[in-house]
Amino acid sequence: MLTRRHIRVKVMQSLYTVGQTQSDNLDKEEKFLLFSIDQMYDLFLINLQLLVEIKKHAAEFLTKSQKKYLATSEEKNPNTKFIDNEVLTWLENNVELKEKIERKKMNCWELDSEYVTLLWEAIKESEIYADYMSTKLSSFKEDKEFVLDIFKEVIAPNEKLYDYFEDKRLTWVDDLPLVNTAIVKMLRKAKASHDEQKSLPELYKDEDDKKFAIDIFRKTVLNGDTFNKEIDGKTPNWDQDRIAELDKAIIKMAICEFVKFPSIPVKVTINEYLEIAKEYSTPKSSIFINGILDKLSKEYQKNGKLNKVGRGLM
């Protein structure tokens, strides 16, 4: 589920916290980093379960409407297109999702069912829903596009849901964009046969990615003073104290990749951290950071500090 960029962002956030708190307990901070990454997966599962609970709520709504004493013709013979949606049905029947939710004892939508109701009402009021429900028959492609649209346009941007997640766990606010991207990516890959959709994506693609998270965090912290000296002189118009803490974390992580990770190409490192800076730092930070990293990479290449292994890694 996590990409290397997601991992870099989580490490950057942890390094920023270490810089703010001046913590010197590396083991404790590493455990918190891994814990916060694990919590991202919980948020991922909870959001998938939310889609399932909205489907269940819609089904209950139709059943109650049919049982009304003075039910209308439309209520007696409702359009079941939403509750028959193939993608939502796949999620509802996904054994792995059920098992993980039960194992982690995640019952937030039972305890806070008002958010399920709130989102169901928001979906019903949307043009996306009206267009989808205008016909009774649909294809898998239409079902998938509909779920993607309501997630992106109705559920993910909902401010009350955002506030709810913030109250549940403060770190989730920073994780939401990453988790929402992962959910959209997973839904886009859904196939009509579901042959390739028997299991949910794992948190880490492989053990190398988890090791990367630990290594870049530890190596950046342990070499922090050395990397600070590397930055000196590359910012003639800036004192170290004037460089934003977040920018400093980004620059030090990039330096760490330059000199401590032989298999990561220089261009990949620079591009990744520039994109992260554009999303998480000030508007001009990416230009500032690009200037420093460009100078450092050329200097390291000249004096043999890069030590990159493999073709095309410079």
Spatial CA neighbour of 168 closest among 301, 42, 282, 73? 42
Per-residue pLDDT reduced to its tens digit, 99-108: 999 999 999 9
pLDDT for residue 197 is more than 70:
no
User: Which residue range is the domain that position 46 belongs to?
Assistant: 4-188
Tell me, yes or no, whether 20 and 140 share the same domain: yes
d(C-alpha 291, C-alpha 278), whole Å: 14
Confidence of residue 236 (pLDDT cuts 50, 70, 90): low
Tell me, yes or no, whether 60 and 171 share the same domain: yes
SS3 state of residue 306 = coil
SS3 state of residue 312 = coil
Per-residue pLDDT reduced to its tens digit, 96-142: 999 999 999 999 999 999 999 999 999 999 999 999 999 888 899 99
pTM above 0.95, yes or no: no
d(C-alpha 102, C-alpha 45), whole Å: 11
**Residue 238 φ/ψ, nearest 5 degrees:** -135, 135
Tell me, yes or no, whether 49 and 110 share the same domain: yes
Helix or strand holding residue 273 (H, E): helix 266-280
Tracing tokens 């997973």 back to the chain, one arrives at 186
d(C-alpha 224, C-alpha 256), whole Å: 9
Q: Which amino acid is at 226?
A: T
pLDDT for residue 199 is more than 90:
no
Spatial CA neighbour of 119 closest among 151, 78, 79? 151
Query: How many domains would you assign to the chain?
Result: 2
- CATH, residue 274: 1.10.940.10
Tell me, yes or no, whether 81 and 128 share the same domain: yes
Q: What angle do CA 237, 239, 243 make, to 5 degrees?
A: 100
Secondary-structure breakdown of the chain: helix, strand, coil percentages, each rounded to the nearest 5: 70, 0, 30
Tell me, yes or no, whether 178 and 130 share the same domain: yes
Q: Which of 162, 188, 214 is the last residue of a domain?
A: 188
